[in-house]
Structures are given as structure tokens and as C-alpha cells.
A and B are shown apart, each in its own frame.
Chain A
Amino acid sequence: MGNFDLLMHGFGVAITPMHLMLMVGGVLMGLVVGVLPGLGAPNGVSLLIPLTFALDPTSAIILLSSMYWGALFGGSTTSILFNIPGEPSSVATTFDGYPMARKGESTRALTLAFMSAGVGALVGVVVITLLAGWASNFALQFGAPEYFAVYFLAFAAFIGMGSASPAKTLVSLTTGLLLATVGMDTVTGEIRLTFGLDQLLSGISFLVVVIGLFGIGELLSTVQEGLRFRGVSSKIDLRDVLRTIAELPRYWATSVRSALIGIWMGITPGGPTAASFMSYGIARQASRKGEAFGTGRPEGIVAPETADHSAGSCAMLPMLALGVPSSATAAVMMGGLMIWGLTPGPMLFATKPDFVWGLIASMYVSNLIGVILVLATVPMFAALLRIPFAIIGPMIVVICFVGAYTVSNASFDLWLVLLFGLVGYLFTKLGYPLAPLVLAMVLGHKAENAFHQSMILSNGSLEIFFSNTLVTSIMLIALALLILPKTLQLGSRLRRKAPVE
């Protein structure tokens, strides 16, 4: 098995004291970057690029990728503790992670998130190791119609089984789609919905919206409910961490399914954010037990986190092998590759084995380091919830605004945070689900582009979405996911009270 030998060679390259130091440093920096909402992995990694000029490419990519893993881990922390996603891909973690923390089980929620993230990442790396050659060929199969089918599938998986009223879901979804169209359109080059405001030219940043909707929106609700987080008196015990780890194998089905979704979305440019949403939606679909999702279900944390991380690691593959990054951070790293004088492409695996396999080997090691480091921080983060609201509340406000400002250094974004904070508060109060809005913002423009490109290719005929086996099967799965649950729901509607999102 050639890949195995190459991997061992890679370990030889990756495991040196210097590289181990870079990994620990990278993961720690990534944690900080991930915990702070707004700063985010792409920004963090591009801040580090100038530092890598002095390193050789292998050390440089090890540092940058370690930072990425750290940021992916850190991103779930604030999602769970404060309902503020530190990274776009950890939005789905808030749905069940935050309710669980509010029930006083923050240690459990954090441990579940970190452990399943670790599992996801490792599964992702194993896939990269085994399927390096095959996966890039698979990604080549994806043209515009296939992309659209994948995005459609993500929408269908998540929305088909939404438990809120269909009309409210539709309102939320279309609001998201509308927000996603602001700015310059790739396919037509037209500027849309900016109302002559220069600040809107680059579109409305998804992160800014999320910080407002979730962070500020949640804060407003908390204030109304009497100025305190419920369940603050959580016990903090390292044994809780161990107990939760022991609990993990029970969710093996969710883990396996989510890891597979993550791998797929990582290899084809759906990206970690789409993966986590899709995996959460499908987990909700697959669960038959009474307790509703959105109330602190462990599967609701395991699913998005596993998918997020397996997608994150698999995103390295199309970046290296095709030169197509399937996440924003991968795009920044690819820029780094070119500056270091490496050409991403199918030949990189053949011409620079030290670099490629050193990186892959380092992914095993630095994710292990990452899991150990984040687990060690669990008690510390969980303790944050014991701080009285009078102190932590204002701090969250500051973090939200600083975070929103860091996204693109624009003071206009601060107004947007405020606005979307109000929107988030109103949506929650009136029972409109936020998730479809967020999903539409992430995938709306991509889906629109792919649809538009397909229409140009087919001269406006919808047949293109059923023109070959690949695209037809994805479309059929998507349609099934969209229609079946609603039909089944109709049947059981009278027997079961519809759970609230």
C-alpha cells in the first residue's frame, strides 16, 4: 500500500521538535481566534501568512493548518456558552449546544462538541490518506448543475423536516435569500440591492448577521427574562468530561453519518458550514425518540460538529489536488502555497511528497493535540457561565461588536449587528425559525450562481438537472428529503404535538 508508506514518511517529516512546537502554537492561536467571534479562521490565517515567509513551506503549512484546526475547535465554544457562533460553521452547534448549556450541562455540551469534532477530523484525515487520488477525480465530476443539486440537497435536508410552521420557515428562508443577493453578482456583474450605499457593495457579511441574530438577539431575550442565564449553577468537574467521553459511543450512528456527510461536502465545494447544517438536519430526520431537537439533544451537538470537522479536514484535499479551496480558510492557505512557490494541482502529490504527506501526517498529530488542549480548557470555559450576568452581559456586547468590526474593519457593520440583533429578537419571540435564514445566507448566492450557470449551459432548460446519473441521483435524494417528511408528518400530526424549533 503506497499511501501507507508515504504517510509514514510524512510522519518522519512532521514529527520534529520544531514542528510539534508549531503545532501547539498554531492550535493555541487558532483557539483564541476561533473563540472570538468575527475574527475567524480565514482572518487569523491571513494574519499569520507574513510570518511564514521565514519558514520552509512544510513548516509554514503545518503552522497555518494547525491554526485552522484550533479555530474550528474554538468556534464551538462560544456557540455553546453564549449562543454566539465563533465561526460560520459552528452556527448549527448553537441549536442544541446552547440549550444544553442552559440546562446546566455546559461541561457535557463542550466535551461532546470537542470529542465529536476530534472524531470528525480524524475520520477526515484517514479518508484523505486512503483516497487521495480517487477523491480529486470525484470532485472533477462536479459541474454547475451538480453544484446546484448539492446546494439544493443541503436546503432540502435542512428545511424539509423543519418543525416550525411552513409559512414561517418560508418567510425566514426568503429573507435569507434576499440578504444573500445584496452586492455584486458574479454571473451578471450587476450590483443589486445596495440602494446606492457603498458599504453594501461587497454584500452583507454572513458573520455580522449571525453575530447580531444570535449574540445580540439572545442577549435581548435574556434581558427580558430577568437578567440571568438559566442554569448557571453548573457543577464543574473533570469527571464530567470523562463521563461524557464514555457516553460518546452511544451516538455512533450519528457520528458515522455526519462524518460521511462532512467528507462529501469537504471534497466537493459545499464546505464545512453546509456540511454542519445538512448533518444536523439529517440527524433530526433520523431520530425517532420523543425528545425534540433544539432542546439540548446530544445528537444535535455530535452531528454538526463531526460533519464540520471532517469537512474542514477534507477541504484540504481539493485545495492541494485541484487548486480549488472548498472553504474560505483553505482559500487563504492556497494563496500561501503560491507565495511559497508551490503550485496546487494534481501533480503536487507527485512532485512534493514531503510537503503533502508531511501536512497530512501533521493533521493527525495536530488534531490530537487540539483535542487534548481543548478538553483541558473545558472546566475553564464552563466556569465562565458562573460569572453573574451583570458582568458577562456587557462583555458579550463588547465581544459581539468587536467581532463584527473585525470581519472587515467597517463601522457600518456595527449598525448591521444592532439591526440584526433586533431582527433575531423579534424572530425568536414570534416563533420564526432563524436557521433557514442563516442557511439561505450561506448557500443562497452559491446556489443562485450554480443555477444561473446551469441555465446558461442548457439554454434555459431544467432538463440539465437530470442529464446524468450523478446529478439525477442527488436531485432525487433532495426531492425525497423535501417531500417525504412533510407527507409523513401529515399522517402523524394529530397524534403528536409538533415540537417547536
Chain B
Amino acid sequence: MIKTRIALLTATAVMVAAPALADWAPNRPIEFVVASGAGGGTDNFARTIQSALTRNDIVDAPMVVLNKGGGSGAEAFLYARQNAGDPNKLIFGTNNVYLLPYVAKLAYTTEDLQPVAALALDEFLVWVKADSPYESITDLIDAAKEAPGTITFGGSQSKDTDETLVALIEQVSGADFKYVPFNGGGETGVQLAGGHIAANVNNPNENIGQWQAGAVRPLCVFSPERMAESEPIGDDMGWHDIPTCKEAGLDIESYQMPRTVWLPKDTDPEVVAFYEDAMKKVAETPEWQDYLTKTSQTGAVLLDEELASFIQTNEDNTVKVFQAEGWTAAE
């Protein structure tokens, strides 16, 4: 009874407000389902968006952050599957949404989620300890070729972005590293600063503190172009002074991790449009710009077809690495 009434009301509302873009607006608190624990990179991403949406009155409904970081984030994506069609749940992740199902047997597929937007690209850099003998990426690779399997790369998690990148470096250069997985980027950063590993592939934000303190230094960045100009950070170098890995002699054009927003599948197109619009507005807020600068990420608002093609390319490239390493879960 109530349902039909709501349906009728909605129908009327749709007819009356047909030309407007925002045919739908949330009428209940929105759950921000975060595919990482509290304090993780994805958590900061979601909370920054929450703060930008609240402070600029972009969305009226209250927003609640829910951390579901179990199983490298799979917990959040399974939750999306269980809540198919629910317009009040936004899922925040990285490329793990579509890459996890390849390496682990999980009860969800990428089709269970509807992509909404990618808002930023997080860069990857090769870092070494400040007093390490390696002055460039080629030094590091040559050393690994001379003594295969002895130079340790630390990274966050297993078969995740970090190990994938190390595997890619190995495949491209023919060197052989030893990969040690740790719990997160922060921990990996400290392991490098303490000299327990030889190198890591942390995101800028995960190592900036140690770089400022002169404990670690970057060798190169995996992006097509150098990063944006910035104040000097460590050793009188700013982000822009770091060479791209390609110009430094390692033939990897780009390796970036998108920060993505998803809905459960089977929501109405109006719902997707509403959130796309909200995310576009977020990207223009000062809070968002501040977040990008502070975390040294590259802003990139990808929606709809652009997003789909980005995901496709990213997925294809990564799966190639997975296959070469034999990581893909047995069908």
C-alpha cells in the first residue's frame, strides 16, 4: 500500500520535473562503504568527499562512513552485491574492485557494481633509502641483475597494486627482485627508512614524511609526464624534479591507481546521474583541491564512457601481468 503510494508519488514527481537533471535525490542517510580500514588511503578519499559534500551543501542527506576493509576490500564489494539496487549506498575503492576477482576466488564479480566516477589517480614511485648506493632506477635494476633475488622490494599486501608493479618491473627489465608484503604503505615506508628493505613503490603520500626528513629519496615516477610543480620537499627537490621512469630508462609508460566511486548494480539511471553530478561538483571544491595537493595525486574526473574505457585498459594491462606471473585464480 505504502509502496504503491510512494511509487505513485515518485511517478508524479518524475513527470512534473522531467527535464531537470536531478530527478532523484537521496531521501535516507547515504552509506559510504569504504573498501579499506579506517585510516587507509581509500578511507581518506571517502572522508574527504564526505567533508566536501557536507561543507558545500552539495548533498543534503546525512552521510555515514562504514569501513569494510576485510579481504583486501572484498568485504565492501560483497556488501554491494548483497544490496543490489540500493541507491543509498556508495562504494569507495581503487582498481581493486575489478582486479580482486582475478587473483582470489570471491563471491562477487565486477558486474555486481555500477561505476560512478574516478576522481583521482594516485602515482607510484620507486623509493630507496637516502644513503643507498642506487642513484637511479637503472642502478637498482643492474644490481638486481647481478645478484638475482637478493634485492628486497617491500610493498603493501600481496598480489595487490604494489606487487603487480614490482612484477611488471621484473617483466619489463628482466631483473629479479625479492618481494616482501607488509600491511600497508605506512609500514612499508618505515621499513625502508629503517633499512630493512632496499626499495619500495609507495604512493607519494605514503612516503612524503620520510622524504621530508631525509630518510628516503625517490628514483622515478610511473606516470607519462612529470608530476606537478611543488615546493621543495626533500634534498631541495620537489615532485616535478623526479624523472619519469620512462625517461630514466625503465620502459613502463604509466602505472597509476584510480580512486573510484561505485554504486550497487541495478540502480536507476537517475541515481547514477545524481551521484555523477555530485562527484563533478566535489572535484571543484577547495577541499578536494587541497586533498589532491596534500596527497600529491593527479586529479582526473572520469565519468561514464571515459571511465569505462579507462577501466577496460587498466584491467587488460594488469591482467596481462597477472597471467605472466601465474596469479590468476584457477577457473
Is chain B found bound to chain A in the same assembly? yes
Residues of A within 8 A of B (CB): 42, 46, 49-50, 53, 139-144, 183-191, 198, 201-203, 322-325, 328, 331-335, 338-339, 341, 343-348, 408-409, 449, 453, 456-457
> With A139-B190, A202-B69, A322-B190 known to touch, is A49 a contact of B75 (CB < 8 Å)?
no
4 smallest CB-CB distances across A and B, nearest first, come from A345-B209, A202-B70, A143-B196, A189-B158
| B188-203 contact mask (Cβ, 8 Å, vs A): 1 or 0 | 0111011011000000
Bound Cα distance A189, B54 (Å): 37
- Shortest C-beta distance, A445 to chain B (Å), equals 10
B173 within 8 A of A: no
* Chain A residues positioned under 8 Å from B74 (CB to CB): 184, 201
B190 touches A324 (CB 8 A): yes
| B236-273 contact mask (Cβ, 8 Å, vs A): 1 or 0 | 00000000000000000000000000000000000000
Bound Cα distance A185, B72 (Å): 9
* Chain B residues positioned under 8 Å from A185 (CB to CB): 158
Q: Which residue of B lies closest to A409 (CB)?
A: B66
> With A141-B194, A189-B159 known to touch, is A184 a contact of B72 (CB < 8 Å)?
yes
B295 touches A338 (CB 8 A): yes
Within 8 A of A (CB), among B187-222: 187, 189-191, 193-194, 196-197, 205-206, 208-210, 212-213, 215
A341 touches B294 (CB 8 A): yes
A324 touches B180 (CB 8 A): no
Bound Cα distance A345, B178 (Å): 27
Pick the contact of A324 from B44, B48, B54, B186 — CB < 8 Å? Answer: B186
Bound Cα distance A203, B69 (Å): 11
B157 within 8 A of A: yes
B75 touches A201 (CB 8 A): yes
Q: Which residue of A lies closest to B69 (CB)?
A: A202
* Chain B residues positioned under 8 Å from A339 (CB to CB): 44, 47-48, 51
Pick the contact of B181 from A42, A187, A335 — CB < 8 Å? Answer: A187
A186 touches B157 (CB 8 A): yes
B38 within 8 A of A: yes
Q: What would be 29 A-B contacts, judged by CB atoms less than 8 Å apart?
A: A42-B38, A50-B50, A50-B54, A50-B63, A143-B194, A143-B196, A184-B74, A186-B157, A186-B158, A189-B159, A198-B78, A202-B68, A202-B69, A322-B186, A323-B189, A323-B190, A328-B38, A331-B38, A334-B39, A335-B43, A335-B44, A338-B44, A338-B295, A343-B209, A347-B209, A347-B213, A449-B183, A457-B180, A457-B196
A346 touches B215 (CB 8 A): yes
> With A201-B75, A345-B208, A409-B66 known to touch, is A189 a contact of B38 (CB < 8 Å)?
no
B194 touches A189 (CB 8 A): no
- Shortest C-beta distance, B58 to chain A (Å), equals 14
* Chain A residues positioned under 8 Å from B37 (CB to CB): 331
- Shortest C-beta distance, B267 to chain A (Å), equals 21
Bound Cα distance A446, B313 (Å): 36
Q: Which residue of A lies closest to B51 (CB)?
A: A53
Chain A CB within 10 A, most for which of B105, B160, B196, B295: B196
Bound Cα distance A186, B295 (Å): 25
B70 touches A183 (CB 8 A): yes
Bound Cα distance A140, B197 (Å): 12
* Chain B residues positioned under 8 Å from A328 (CB to CB): 38
Bound Cα distance A411, B81 (Å): 17
B65 touches A46 (CB 8 A): yes
Pick the contact of A46 from B67, B70, B71, B196 — CB < 8 Å? Answer: B67
Bound Cα distance A198, B70 (Å): 10
* Chain B residues positioned under 8 Å from A188 (CB to CB): 158
Within 8 A of A (CB), among B284-304: 290, 294-295
Q: Which residue of A lies closest to B206 (CB)?
A: A323
Please classify how large the interface on chain B is, using the bins under 10, 10 to 19, 20 to 34, 35 or more: 35 or more
B40 within 8 A of A: yes
B39 touches A335 (CB 8 A): yes
Q: Which residue of A lies closest to B37 (CB)?
A: A331
* Chain A residues positioned under 8 Å from B71 (CB to CB): 183-184, 191, 201-202
> With A46-B67, A143-B196 known to touch, is A346 a contact of B210 (CB < 8 Å)?
yes
Bound Cα distance A346, B39 (Å): 19
Q: Which residue of B lies closest to A194 (CB)?
A: B71
B110 within 8 A of A: no
Q: Which residue of B lies closest to A144 (CB)?
A: B196
B14 within 8 A of A: no
B103 touches A343 (CB 8 A): no
* Chain A residues positioned under 8 Å from B68 (CB to CB): 202, 408
18 extra interchain contacts, Cβ-Cβ under 8 A, other than A142-B194, A202-B69, A457-B152? A42-B38, A50-B47, A50-B54, A141-B194, A144-B191, A183-B71, A184-B72, A186-B157, A189-B103, A189-B160, A198-B78, A202-B68, A331-B37, A335-B40, A335-B43, A338-B294, A339-B51, A345-B213
Bound Cα distance A344, B206 (Å): 10
A140 touches B193 (CB 8 A): yes
B28 within 8 A of A: no
Bound Cα distance A409, B64 (Å): 13
A456 touches B180 (CB 8 A): yes
* Chain A residues positioned under 8 Å from B72 (CB to CB): 184, 189
* Chain B residues positioned under 8 Å from A456 (CB to CB): 178-180
Pick the contact of B190 from A49, A140, A190, A332 — CB < 8 Å? Answer: A140
* Chain A residues positioned under 8 Å from B186 (CB to CB): 322-325, 334
* Chain A residues positioned under 8 Å from B159 (CB to CB): 189
* Chain B residues positioned under 8 Å from A140 (CB to CB): 190, 193-194
B98 within 8 A of A: no
Bound Cα distance A353, B107 (Å): 49
B280 within 8 A of A: no
* Chain A residues positioned under 8 Å from B189 (CB to CB): 323
Bound Cα distance A24, B178 (Å): 51
Bound Cα distance A457, B212 (Å): 28
A343 touches B105 (CB 8 A): no
- Shortest C-beta distance, B61 to chain A (Å), equals 13
B54 touches A343 (CB 8 A): no
Bound Cα distance A189, B182 (Å): 11
* Chain B residues positioned under 8 Å from A325 (CB to CB): 39, 186
- Shortest C-beta distance, A333 to chain B (Å), equals 8
Pick the contact of A453 from B47, B78, B180, B206 — CB < 8 Å? Answer: B180
> With A334-B39, A408-B68 known to touch, is A144 a contact of B180 (CB < 8 Å)?
yes
B104 within 8 A of A: yes
* Chain A residues positioned under 8 Å from B70 (CB to CB): 183-184, 201-203
Bound Cα distance A44, B106 (Å): 31
- Shortest C-beta distance, A381 to chain B (Å), equals 29
A332 touches B212 (CB 8 A): no
B55 within 8 A of A: yes
| B301-325 contact mask (Cβ, 8 Å, vs A): 1 or 0 | 0000000000000000000000000
